């Protein structure tokens, strides 16, 4: 099981994938907003989203896990 982490601290604007979705490597899975900039979060590897660990509107720190992917 791998994790998709926040690349920097910010507000989680949009969660684009739900539990059970299949994603490809490089696909956008969420959007962070940090210092008024939109930061896309991409899946490093393809697979199935096993868990969504944060909700939209939550503040996340750099390195915090957003998804579990297998």
Query: Which one among 2, 39, 53, 65 touches other proteins, defined by CB under 8 A?
Result: 39
Please name which of 6, 68, 64, 50 lies closest in space to residue 31, comparing C-alpha atoms.
6
Q: Binding-site residue total for other proteins (CB under 8 A)?
A: 15
Q: Does residue number 42 form part of the binding site for other proteins (CB under 8 A)?
A: no
Query: Which one among 1, 18, 20, 37 touches other proteins, defined by CB under 8 A?
Result: 37
Query: Which one among 11, 19, 22, 45 touches other proteins, defined by CB under 8 A?
Result: 11
């Amino acid at each position: 099981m791998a994790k998709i982490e926040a690349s920097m601290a910010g507000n989680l604007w949009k969660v684009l994938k739900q539990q059970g979705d299949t994603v490809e490597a490089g696909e956008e899975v969420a959007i962070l907003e940090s210092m008024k900039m939109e930061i896309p979060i991409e899946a490093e590897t393809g697979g199935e989203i096993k868990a969504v660990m944060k909700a939209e509107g939550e503040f996340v720190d750099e390195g915090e896990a957003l998804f579990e992917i297998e």
